[in-house]
Amino acid sequence: MTTILLAMLAASAVQAGLVPRSNKCSGGFTRVSAQTWLDNANPGWNLGNTLDAIPTEGSWNNPPVVVNTFSQIQSAGFKGMRLPITWIDHFASGSPSWTVNATWLQRVSDVVDESISRGFHTILNVHHDATDWADVTAAGANYTAIEDRFYALWFQIATNLACKSSLLAFEPLNEPPATTQAHYDEINKLNTIFVKAINDAGGFNPNRVVTLVGPSEDGSLTSQFFKRPTNITNPWAIQYHYYSPYDFIFGAWGKTIWGSDADKQALEANIAEVRGNFTDVPLVIGEWSAAGTYTETSARWKYSDFLMKTAAKYNTATYWWDNGATDFDRGSGKFRDPVVKDIIVQAAQGKTNSLADSTEDESGLTQVSSAYLYHTAGKAPTPPTDLTASYLLNGNTITSVRSPSGQTLSKGPDYTVTGGNVTFKAPLISKYITPHTPFGQVANFTILFSHGATLQTTLVKLGQSKLATNTSIATASTATTDLRIPVTYATIPKVAAVQAKLADGTCLFDTWTVYLPAIQQCRSTYGNQWDYDGASVTISAAAVQAVVAAGQTTTFVVEFYPRMPGNSATFVMTLG
């Protein structure tokens, strides 16, 4: 069945004029095992929302990639580079040849050269096509048509890149949607068609590393439904993606706390499950991320450290997802959270990181985090007091503490150390916080340890954050646009959670959240239901529609960091 299908595909490729342009490569190619390849790729980074943007590179939040970005990511300590590429809008002709635009193929080839010339273990894929023409779950999907186009596309990609070095690997299709056995079977078939296409394209491709995929590149679905391709001769690995737990990673239901034993056990069980099913297959997590936009800082550090350590324990390489808006700021060439970058790189080198302590128990109404030092300023000027940050040393010692300008502070007068606690003395704090200091982030201190990542704690002058308005009237006509409310942050410029409760005391969304710990009850979801930036909080049109549909006055409580009773602002929506 498969043999006949592949023979037919090869015939149709020739009919369609897909003749390899460069199946003879000059120079040598060192075949490496997929395991060796992945061992040298960790830690990897994703050039997200760039060549995968629709319709083309530059269409989303990132301008076209520049050479500097590769140099900066290399200097930062990353060894792997995943290049997600969307092909949807780059076909120059339709069926049956599906010719890919030559200008685009050249651009892709040039970007690959920038990546591999810096030694990056580079994974190139077919990305958002998975939810477009290659979507096997779409109503009326014609599998024959998908297979023909998929073969034609991969044949051309592999022909174009046939002579690239062994630093280039291929991934057939990003997160292909699948929910039924028929879909799972088709994803397995697409892996086989991909392998056939790149081998037919010749050049160095028959020896190139490939990272095959299961349904949705979900670890559990892959464990259950991935089928090993028969007769594969390329060195191969399995790639899957990891964004779990959903609530913490995506800012849902007030889950800003992470790090309990249960949280860790759940993460480890997921990674162990995939390894347990593929004991003899090299594995790579091609995407994972606890993004700064949606996660609390200490919790993100703990999560990132634990994910890296656990992946290493189960011999799984990692590529950190970065959409350009969350982590590496390509404009300034700096990581928005340099600490999490350091944690990832150090963990990949097998170093033990110390971490900032923070609340791990969700039963209370507060969340403390040693990523911050909060000086609580009341109405009357409040003189600074000593402020303490606590660290989970993990066997390391604290070697020094540095001022915002990078000077080594003096142990004794400036700070004291007791176990994992660093107490910043009032006279030091007074240098940064005066009655005239504006509310918000004031200064960053740096804490250095005997091993592992360098941490940072941000001094914040904490006051009452305020919304510019506190009421609105919801009607069927206002429910069509997002409601943007200007905000004055008197803390870090970030919203932690938004609680939405109806007049009768039930939740506007997800009524079942009343069974969660109190700090999560009736909290809605970042992105879908609320959003924020440095100047405003947005209640989405969908949330306004929900209020209209519920037919009740709804109270939104916007919670700021640190999460504690009172550090919030209330907004009431009535019906028009």
Ligand X SMILES: *[C@@H]1O[C@H](CO)[C@@H](O)[C@H](O)[C@H]1NC(C)=O
Minimum distance from residue 59 beta carbon to ligand X (Å): 12
Of 26 and 418, CB closest to ligand X: 418
Residue with tokens 């590769």: 70
Pairing of strands 398-402, 387-392: unpaired
List, in sequence order, every beta strand (DSSP E) within 133-249. Answer: 168-171, 210-218, 236-242
Distance of CA 540 to the CA centre of its chain: 23
Minimum distance from residue 538 beta carbon to ligand X (Å): 18
Minimum distance from residue 368 beta carbon to ligand X (Å): 8
User: What CA–CA distance (Å, rounded) separates 453 from 158?
Assistant: 40
Minimum distance from residue 171 beta carbon to ligand X (Å): 21
Rg (CA), the chain: 26
Cα angle for residues 286, 46, 38 (degrees, 5° grid):
45
User: What CA–CA distance (Å, rounded) separates 523 from 500?
Assistant: 6
Of 81 and 498, CB closest to ligand X: 498
Minimum distance from residue 523 beta carbon to ligand X (Å): 18
Of 3 and 26, CB closest to ligand X: 3
Q: Are 486 and 468 in contact (CB under 8 A)?
A: yes
User: What CA–CA distance (Å, rounded) separates 51 from 158?
Assistant: 17
Q: Are 99 and 92 in contact (CB under 8 A)?
A: yes
Minimum distance from residue 119 beta carbon to ligand X (Å): 28
Minimum distance from residue 286 beta carbon to ligand X (Å): 19
Minimum distance from residue 370 beta carbon to ligand X (Å): 9
Of 25 and 440, CB closest to ligand X: 440
Q: Are 317 and 284 in contact (CB under 8 A)?
A: yes
Minimum distance from residue 460 beta carbon to ligand X (Å): 9
Of 9 and 123, CB closest to ligand X: 9
Dihedrals φ, ψ of 525, to 5°? Answer: -115, 130
Of 71 and 224, CB closest to ligand X: 224
List, in sequence order, every beta strand (DSSP E) within 40-195. Answer: 44-46, 80-83, 121-125, 168-171
Minimum distance from residue 235 beta carbon to ligand X (Å): 18
Q: Which residue is nearest to ligand X, using beta carbons?
A: 276
In 3D space, the residue among 535, 547, 550 whose CA is nearest the CA of residue 471 turns out to be: 547
Q: Are 170 and 211 in contact (CB under 8 A)?
A: yes
User: What CA–CA distance (Å, rounded) separates 346 from 324?
Assistant: 22
Of 252 and 495, CB closest to ligand X: 495
87: number of Cβ within 10 Å: 27
Of 37 and 556, CB closest to ligand X: 556
Element (H, E) at 456: strand 455-462
Residue with tokens 């273990």: 121
Of 167 and 522, CB closest to ligand X: 522
Of 120 and 301, CB closest to ligand X: 301
Q: Which residues bind ligand X (CB under 6 A)?
A: 2-3, 92, 95, 101, 103-104, 142, 144-145, 148, 220, 223-224, 230-231, 273, 276-277, 337-338, 388, 390, 418-419, 421, 441-444, 456, 458, 470, 570, 572
By CB atoms closer than 10 A (0-12, 13-18, 19+), residue 197 is: buried
Q: Which two tokens stand for residue 381?
A: 């000027």
